[in-house]
Structure 1
Amino acid sequence: MKLAKLYKNSQVFKIALGIAIAVVGYIACVFYTQMRSLDSSVDIITNATETQLELERVLSIISIYETNLRSYIITKDESYLEKRFLRRGEIETNLKRINVLVANNPARVKDVKRLNKLIDYRFKLFRETLLLAKSKMPNSEVLNAKLQESNDFTELMKNYVYKTINAEGDKVKIHNNNHQFELQDSIISAFLLVILSLLILLLSFNKMNVDIYELKRANDELKFLNHSFNNAEKIAGFGHWKINLETNTYSFSDNFFRLLGLEPQSFVPSLENISKYVHPDDIEYVTQMHLDSLVSYNPTSLMYRFVLPNGDLKYVMSVGSFTRNGKGQMVKTGVNYDMTEQYKRTIELEENNKELISINEELESFNNIVSHDLQEPLRKIQMFISRIESTEVDSISEKGKGYFYKIRTSANKMQTLLIDLVNYSRTIKGDKVFENTDLKELVYHVIDDLSSDIEEKKAKIDLGDLPTVKVISFQMEQLFINLISNSLKYSQEDVAPEISIFSEKIDKNEVFDNEIITDQDYYKIVVKDNGIGFKQEYAEKVFILFQRLETGSKYSGTGLGLAICKRIVDNHNGFIKVISEPNVGSTFSIFLPKKA
């Protein structure tokens, strides 16, 4: 069963055919290698003989030089040294010949280099011995020792050279023996490999017949897939097209025609015929972009309109790119998407955006009214209230005074609300210029601005270390103003407010809105007070616009202060949370990114 599966596997037979070709190549290489091996054997024997001869010549010259030196020591006759001794010309010539002979043998090249060093040292001994012999009062013991050292080193050189010569001889013998063995073995191998190749070729031929049957089945399956793809085009609302740049032939899918409101293959696919259905205002642009792409091979992405036979408009997105087919011909293929419904929704969205822009303009006008037009009459009301209080309050009845007090309180509340609305608006539409800001220095300015309120409440503010952060300075100043004012406003009766502002390390990773907050990415800044606090279940509610907790009439507020704080922190891509307990106090934690 496994053999049948392998037999039907085309990849297996591709490998088998590759093996067969490799086998034939291997046989040819074997015979070629054998012929080269014979030539190589002759060259090796010749080189070895000549190398041996040259090495023996070098040893002979060294021996002659040694004899001449000894003769000079005995006779002091300078003729033994003239034109012969210490002249390395002959030896250098021998060594050059040896280097040429062993150039293709790295091991021998290394041996020759070592021999050259030995010769250098031997000549060094010659010079040292000669200097001792020529001295006015030569020390016979030192001279004899140097001669003995020279003689021993000469024997060492001879042993090294003969070892090299013997190694070359052994190598020739081994090469001849291996060559004979390989020649006999290759005949048997060649016969077996040829039989194996014929068997593989026979199986491959039989596999071709099987593949023809499989190809027919694959062709039937391909027809079915093509039918399925056409149905998919119809369901998804797109059609594909193709242009062969070599033959200048166009082809459109069935659903391409349906997008035009036509029956499949209603006309011969061509640029001229399809252009008849392109909207007159789009035809020049679309045609030019398409023709330019056929020259530059740049992909295209165009949106244009088709005019259907019934007069309806259809918006399409046409995307095309270039590739080469199996024949190596350049082909542009593309897809047309029906974008009519999406285009209509886009137009509707644009209309909605225009309406939103109009609403935003109205809101901007409202903001200007709040910040200027409403505050001006309010200031006048407060001014007249102040004048009446200073001059006419004694003539007003007690009941009237009560009403008058309520008028003043309402006016003050309205002013506070207008200021908070303007501040909130600034956090939304204000310039968001980030700059490096020393938060400790910034908080010092805030404390100075709130000094009268702090002194009135007899509050104690403990300011610890704060980082330098890239923030929107005026918004960050408003943040601390609101938080400190909040702590002063909601302090306990008969208890001096204590407010601590500091930064601390995030020891454990915190999670906020499913995002992990780590000390590596965020600064943590804490504002802690000993005020009236509130139940922790209201911790989220305090940051909602216009939301106030039930704190009694003596605690005034608009419900915008902490909402402004949250908006500012959001503008900095940070987080703010609070932990509170009634009659204990509240701790606000602000997390600001270290990289703005």
Structure 2
Amino acid sequence: MKFLKLFKNSQVFKLALGVAILVVCYFGSKFFSQMQRLTSTLELIAKSNETQLELEKLLSIINSYDYSLRNYIITKDESYLQNRFLNRGIIEEGIKKLKILTVNDSVRNKDILTLEKLINYRFKLFRETLIAAKSSNVDRLGLNSKLKKSNDYTEMMKLFVYKIINSERLKTKFQNSNHQFELQDSLMTAFLLIILSLLILLLSFNKTNGDIEDLKQANDKLMLLNESFNAAEKTAGFGHWMVNLETNQYTFSDNMFRLMGVEPNAFESTLENSIKYLHPDDLEYVTQVHKDSLVNHQSTSIVFRFLTASNEVKYIMGVGSFTKDGNGNMIKIGVNYDITDQYKRTLELEENNKELKYINSELESFNNIVSHDLQEPLRKIQMFISRVEEKEFDGLSQQGRDYFSKIRIAANRMQTLLIDLVNYSRTIKGDKVFVETDLNKIISDTIQDLTTNIEEKSAILHIGQLPIIKAIPFQLKQLFINLVSNSLKYSQEDNIPQININSEVITEEEVSNYEIINKEDYYKIVVEDNGIGFKQEYAEKIFLLFKRLETDPKYSGTGLGLAICNRIVENHKGFIKVKSEPNRGSKFYIFLPKGDLV
């Protein structure tokens, strides 16, 4: 009871809490230190084991070289020498890996450098022995002497490698002992930490689970990468081949056979067997180019066709170049790519281009017809209407005057429609040359062109500071002429038209609504008026060709003006939006990309 009463004293409680915190901190730091040592020990053990494994692999490859060389000397079978370059590459990779594993161990790193020299000298002995074995007049005593020398050197090298391996094993044994000691000590510390701080262990447990899951995912990715590498040649649709100019011996990869429509190794790799699968129209040309290159040693790059046994035609891009093998023999290495799909798409694209040129030609003819052939009789109609109005109008009845007025209005509307059609076709076919364009000057020119319309309406224009962008100047001028003309045309009778043109910052709402990836990539130009407006539900319809809203007949139009605006903005890789409300006016938002995007 007296002990419990002690904790009721705040001073004693604070002291006990302080002591508990110090104990937790002490054991926590101790446990952390132990974990660090365990991790370091595991890394050393892993590196030591990996070093031993790599050294064993090197010895295995050297033994394989000895075996292959002896078999070749006995049987003269060249197949025993086929993989010697590949194995040499594996050895070089192994040495490179060993250098990395021992980079922090100067003594072991020095041993690896020594081993590298021993291996290089061993390969020199291999090469000398091989040359002696291939000699037409074989000196058996000399050859046996070289074999004995090679064997003795191999044994010496094995002793050196086993010395390193034994040293690494002793190191591993020592590290294992340290690891066991540290592990026991850490278990005791962990037990105390569990008693004092269960929450920390739970969090550590969750973290461990997460690490295990990450390790599993990394392992799965590694397995997938290995499988992808093994199937790379087949998946990529290419095959390689090689010919030795000294022996005239050809070698085809597995996928080289598949490109010809047969299974791997379906026939002996020779020129005579492979040209059977060339398209008859390409046979002479391809064969001649290849044979000429074997004489002048010039690289080749040609496109030809394979005709498979199933009569399938494959378009192939073949490239070849020359080099020398380890024996100094000149060889030609080639790679054949299956470009059938690409070739067909190219043909399709050429056909589409021809069709596009034809359409453009038709469009140009249409422009000429609209600009000249159709407008010429229309101008004559307007001229005769003007003359009749001057001389004969007073003699017409009231009904005749009404009919005549409708004729004049219809003729003017026809002229407007023809002009709009020409303008729209120019936005499609016109030269799209982007230059630095000052929008302030474009607006100034627009106002100057529309001075008469502005004065007739007594309109007030407020122009803000606009940016300089890369654009097609005449198209942007047409864009603002159409927008300002619309604002003037659809103004309210009892209100003075007010038109505001400004550059504004893109809002976060617009970024979301219009799926803008980066708002810094676009300029936003706003054209706002106080006209008759329209219902927001028609906001997309007004940009379609020949689409006009049901408005008062006094508001004439062709339904092309805003379609032209939309086309111009699309030509600049931008987009245009509008918000409107009946009798409250409209706001057109023009989003134009900055220079880099254009």
Partner in structure 1 of residue 515 of structure 2: 514
Q: Deviations over 1:484-507 (max 9, x none)?
A: 101000101221101112223446
Deviations 1:79-126 (A, max 9, x none): xxxxxxxxxxxxxxxxxxxxxxxxxxxxxxxxxxxxxxxxxxxxxxxx
Residue 523 (structure 2) aligns with: 523
Q: How far did 1:446 drift?
A: 1.7
Q: Pick closer, same or farther for the CA change 1:299–1:22 going to 2, 3 Å.
A: farther
Shift of 1:554: 1.5
1:510·1:516 contact (CA, 8 Å) conserved in 2? no
The answer to whether structure 1 residue 14 and structure 2 residue 54 are counterparts is yes
Partner of 1:36: none
What residue number does 2:335 align with? 334
Name the SS for the 1:516 alignment partner: coil
Displacement of 1:477:
1.4
The separation in 2 between residues aligned to 1:10 and 1:517, in whole angstroms, is 49
- Deviation of 1:529 after TM superposition, in Å, equals 0.7
Cα deviation per residue 1:512-555 (whole Å; 9 max; x = unaligned)? 7522353x433332221100111222222222222212222111
Cα distance in 1 between the residues matched to 2:314 and 2:163: 64
Equivalent-residue separation in structure 1 for 2:385 and 2:405 (angstroms): 9
Structure 1 length-normalised TM: 0.56
Q: Secondary structure at the match of 1:374?
A: helix
Give the distance between the partners of 1:524 and 1:242, measured in 2 at CA. 58
Q: Contact 2:530–2:585 (CA<8 Å) still a contact in 1?
A: yes
Tell me how far apart the structure 1 counterparts of residues 301 and 348 of structure 2 sit (CA, whole Å).
23
Note the C-alpha offset of 1:509.
Answer: 7.6
In structure 1, the residue matched to 2:560 is: 560
Q: Deviation at 1:9?
A: 7.1
Quote the Cα distance in structure 1 between the aligned partners of 2:409 and 2:371: 20
Report if the CA contact (8 A) 1:302-1:318 is conserved.
Answer: yes
Report how far residue 293 of structure 1 moved. Answer: 7.0
- Secondary structure of 1:547's aligned partner: coil
Amino acid across the alignment from 2:333: K
Deviations 1:5-42 (A, max 9, x none): 9999775433689899968989xx9xxxxxxxxxxxxx
Say if 2:534 is the partner of 1:534. yes
Conserved in 1, the CA contact under 8 Å of 2:52 and 2:165? no
Structure 1: which 5+ runs fail to align? 30-193, 205-224
One-letter identity of the residue aligned with 2:527: V
Q: Which moved more, 1:543-552 or 1:316-325?
A: 316-325
> What residue in structure 2 maps to residue 370 of structure 1?
370
- 1 CA distance for matches of 2:286 and 2:292? 10
Indicate if the aligned counterparts of 1:241 and 1:250 stay in contact, CA closer than 8 A.
Answer: no
Partner of 1:240: 239
Residues 296-346 of structure 1 show CA distances to partners (whole Å, capped at 9, x for unaligned) of 99986532024567988653333567899999986725345372x764565
Distance change in 2, residues 1:482/1:437 (3 Å): same
Q: State the distance in 2 between where 1:397 and 1:553 align.
A: 24
Superposed, 1:385-396 pairs within 5 Å as 385-396=385-396
CA contact (8 A) 1:482 1:561 kept: yes
List alignment gaps of at least 5 residues for structure 2: 1-41, 60-97, 115-159, 171-226
Deviation of the 1:483 alpha carbon: 0.9
Identity of aligned residues (%): 57
Once the two structures are superposed, the pairs formed by residues 306-455 of structure 1 within 5 Å of their partners are 306=306, 314-318=314-318, 332=333, 334-337=335-338, 339=340, 343=343, 346-455=346-455
The CA distance in 1 between the partners of 2:568 and 2:413, in whole Å, is 23
Aligned-residue CA RMSD (Å) = 4.5
Partner of 1:216: none
Matched, 1:200 2:166: yes
> Greater CA deviation, 284-293 or 451-460?
284-293
TM-score between both structures, scaled by the size of structure 2: 0.56
Q: Deviations over 1:436-471 (max 9, x none)?
A: 333223322221221111111121112232233333
Q: Quick check: 2:535–2:582 contact (8 Å CA) kept in 1?
A: yes
Q: Distance in 1 between matches of 2:386 and 2:166?
A: 114
User: Partners of 2:470 and 2:525 in 1: how far apart?
Assistant: 14
Q: Can you list the C-alpha shifts for 1:205-254, whole angstroms capped at 9, x where unaligned?
A: xxxxxxxxxxxxxxxxxxxx9xx979x96xx7967342154754212356
Structure 1 pair 530–328 and aligned structure 2 pair: CA distance change class (3 A): farther
Structure with higher Rg: it is 1
1:487-498 superposed matches below 5 A: 487-498=487-498
Per-residue displacement from partner, 1:562-586 (whole Å, max 9, x unpaired)?
1211222222233322221111111
User: Is contact 1:577–1:588 with CA below 8 Å preserved after alignment?
Assistant: yes
Deviation at 1:377, TM superposition (A): 0.7
Q: Identify if the C-alpha distance between structure 1 residues 326 and 530 changes in structure 2 by more than 3 Å, giving closer, same or farther.
A: farther
Matches of 1:480 and 1:24, distance apart in 2: 75
Q: Is the 8 A contact 1:244 1:331 kept in 2?
A: yes
| Structure 1 residues 550 and 325: alpha-carbon distance in aligned structure 2, compared to 1, 3 A threshold | farther
Change (3 A) 1:252 1:393: same
Separation in structure 1 between the aligned mates of residue 491 and residue 325 of structure 2, nearest angstrom: 81
Partners of 2:318 and 2:337 within 8 A in 1: yes
Whichever residue aligns with residue 514 of structure 1, its letter is E
